[in-house]
Amino acid sequence: MKRSKGFTLVESMVAMMLMVMIMISVYMMILYYRDVSGTEQARVRQTQESRFLLSVFSSEMKNAGAVMTLTNSGGFLAVPPYFNGIYPLNNTGFSDGVVIASGDPNAVSKLMTATVPSSTTTLMLNNTNADPAWDVNDVGILIGPDGFYVFRVTTKPDVGATQLEIDNKKPVYYSGLLDTITDYGGFTYIDPSSPWGDGVTYPANAPVMRLGEFSIYLVQERYDDAKGRRVRELVRVTDCKGEPDVLNAASTASKGVIAENVWDLQLVYTAYPNFPDVVTREDYFTDGGLSNLDDLLTALSAKTVKEVTVNVVALTDDYPGKGMITLPLPLLADRSATSLPAGKFNYKTFTFLVQPRNFNIKI
């Protein structure tokens, strides 16, 4: 009797076990390369975002205050202007924020009469001539001794006109407006020590100018279901539209996330009160340094702040092979040493120095 050819049960089981082992190995390799790919993509995004901070953010910071303080504005207001292009929103334990603005030297004028901008749609100026001329949707700023008001133009003025029509119902921004809370943790950004709101009176001769740049940089914290952890994003706001809580999901403010991997942003301001003598310096918001916001605002108005040090902590997700680890963060500026939430990621800290140009112009 002939024996039939084929595999025995034992041989079949061995073959199946080998196939299962091969499939598991292939699956593990796929998971590994997925993690590697995710990590590399996150690092590419981190690099791109870092380049943005080093280019766009630092460029805006460098131009901050340009034309904001007029050479003869002290004669207009009798005191230095309250706002000079940089407005710190400092948090010791959470990320810092900042308001940045620079003026357009081609559109500079002054108020003819004392004005409460929130109560009128018309600003009376000594002139509205500019090259190019004021136009609809241009953003301008009114600067007083105790506050500032950022408005949007609603009607293009006639040639030689002295009236500038503004939207007083949804101002772009005004000192004292910001009162923002993040979705997670209850961290807030509130204007420092400013008692002024939209009802403040701006005196005659107060400078009025068109803005070349206006941005508010804030860090938003929320919980990301896909990543399974808290995330922090750098948000750039260009128009608050009269709303105090611009980070609220229901807010209509003009804003956008410009860096997804930012965990912390700490800003240090360095003033040289005897400039050009640089021997004496004052560092605000460093470990053991100065921390009085009113003093810093005074230094900013007097243009003795010559350097801003930007400290950033960035994250990369899907760091392979480390599991749910907790990574320590060192002392950074005036923020104490802390730890990141447990997760599969790595972090990178980088620092860059910006020197605002802060030049003047006469009108």
233: left (phi over 0), alpha (psi -120 to 50) or beta: beta
Can you give the pLDDT at residue 363? 46
Q: What angle do CA 36, 44, 333 make, to 5 degrees?
A: 110
- Asked whether residue 363 is assigned to any structural domain, the reply reads no
How many domains, the chain? 1
**Kind of pairing, strands 328-329 and 262-271?**
unpaired
pLDDT cut 70: percent of the chain above it: 87
Task: Write the pLDDT tens digit of every residue in 190-247.
Answer: 887 666 677 889 988 888 999 999 999 999 998 888 777 788 999 999 999 999 999 9
Q: What angle do CA 175, 177, 181 make, to 5 degrees?
A: 135
What distance in Å separates the CA atoms of residue 92 and residue 47, rounded to the nearest whole number?
26
- Asked whether residue 361 is assigned to any structural domain, the reply reads no
Least confident segment among 65-74, 144-153, 190-199, 261-270: 65-74
pLDDT cut 90: percent of the chain above it: 34
Per the structure block, which two tokens stand in for 320?
Answer: 């392979």
DSSP letter, residue 279: S
Task: Write the pLDDT tens digit of every residue in 170-180.
Answer: 999 998 899 89
Are the C-beta atoms of residues 257 and 234 closer than 8 Å to each other? yes
Amino acid at residue number 36:
V
Dump strand ranges (E) for the chain.
86-89, 97-110, 122-124, 139-143, 148-155, 163-166, 173-174, 179-181, 188-190, 207-224, 229-239, 254-259, 262-271, 282-284, 305-317, 328-329, 338-339, 345-354
- Asked whether residue 207 is assigned to any structural domain, the reply reads yes
- Is the dihedral angle over the CA atoms 266, 272, 278, 284 positive or is it negative? negative
- Asked whether residue 161 is assigned to any structural domain, the reply reads yes
pLDDT band (50, 70, 90) for residue 278: confident
CA distances in angstroms from 59 to 62, 72, 105, 213, 355, listed in the order given? 5, 26, 18, 10, 10
- Asked whether residue 263 is assigned to any structural domain, the reply reads yes
Average the pLDDT over 315-334 and give the result. 74
Can you give the pLDDT at residue 215? 96
- Asked whether residue 19 is assigned to any structural domain, the reply reads no
Domain of 98, in residue numbers? 36-354
Omega into 132 within 30° of 0, i.e. cis? yes
- Asked whether residue 18 is assigned to any structural domain, the reply reads no
- Is the dihedral angle over the CA atoms 127, 131, 134, 140 positive or is it negative? negative
- Asked whether residue 93 is assigned to any structural domain, the reply reads yes
